[in-house]
Amino acid sequence: MKQKEKTSQGSASEDAELIKAFQAGKKAAFDELVLSHKDKVFNLCYWFVGDYQDANDLAQDVFFKAFKALKNFRFESAFSTWIYRIAVNTCKNRLKSFQYRLKKKFVHLNNTAAAKNNPGVEIADESSSPEIELGRKEKSRLIQTAINSLPTEKKAVVVLRDIEGLSYEEISSVTGFNLGTVKSKLARARQDLREKLKGEV
């Protein structure tokens, strides 16, 4: 599946061409970039904050920032790395924001009981069996909760690696951590998740 997503996202050289076109004044080129990258950005945002609406707002912010900054893009990294970097920073800032913390607290206080019975996010799925579907949703919810409880940096690394499928080098480029840090943070994030999900999944 990851493989499929990757191929549908277009290559780095195509992105570079589109950016050049955009910088030359062809504003429509940006739409193509958005179309090929919106889902992975959205997915990252979703797993980062764990809320569909928040993820939508964040992904919008990410592309809006990208739109404003793209004319100064200097091709020092791939567009995908660049957009991931914007996404991770945007998500980090959102998690840091007082507004978000307040909301999280508020939602937590109100929905602790309800959350167990409500998967919260409706994800379009074409699974055949309702049982499998239910089990999957439950698993997804549990994993989501576990990821949410991770500290931001560990979360960024594990989402980028295991959900977005980036290589260690790409993660290093997106987060700015050196390779060793990426490896150790990922190892610890996985350990944390394993412990949190032990016996539940």
Partner 1 sequence: MKCAGIKQLLSEYIDGVLDAQTKEHLEEHISTCANCRQELQELKALVKDLGSLKYTKAPDDFIDRLHERIEPSFSLRKIMKTLFVPMRIKIPIQLVTVTATAVLVFSVINLQQPVMQLSDVPMVLEKEEVKQEVIKEPVKPTPGRKIFVQKPASTKTVAHKKQKPTKAKDIALKGLKMEKATDKKAFVRTMQKEKRTIELALVLKTGELGKANLQFAPKEKALSPERVEALDEESKAYLGSSSRSRIAGKVAAKEEVFADAAKKDKKAETPLPAQPAELKEKAGEPELDVDKITEKLKKLVKDLNGEIKSIEYDNKQGHPIFLTAEIPADKYTVFYGGLKEMGALHGPTPAVNENKKEMIKIKLVISK
For partner 1, the binding residues (CB under 8 A) are 1-2, 5, 27, 30-31, 34-35, 38-39, 41-43, 46-47, 52, 55-56, 59-60, 63-64, 67-68, 121, 123-125, 136, 139-140, 143, 158, 161-163, 165, 168, 183-184, 186-187, 190-191, 193-194, 197-198, 201
In the complex, minimum distance from the CB of residue 21 to partner 1, in angstroms, rounded to a whole number: 16
Q: Where are the alpha helices (DSSP H) in the chain?
A: 2-8, 12-23, 28-49, 52-69, 79-96, 98-117, 130-148, 152-158, 168-175, 179-197
What is d(CA 184, CA 42) in angstroms, rounded to the nearest whole number? 26
In the complex, minimum distance from the CB of residue 147 to partner 1, in angstroms, rounded to a whole number: 8
- Alpha carbon of 150 to those of 60, 95, 144, 161, 190: distances in Å? 24, 12, 10, 15, 10
In the complex, minimum distance from the CB of residue 193 to partner 1, in angstroms, rounded to a whole number: 6
Cβ closest to partner 1, residue 95 vs residue 161 = 161
Cβ closest to partner 1, residue 7 vs residue 112 = 7
In the complex, minimum distance from the CB of residue 192 to partner 1, in angstroms, rounded to a whole number: 10
Cβ closest to partner 1, residue 76 vs residue 122 = 122
CB 34 within 8 A of CB 65: no
What is d(CA 51, CA 141) in angstroms, rounded to the nearest whole number? 11
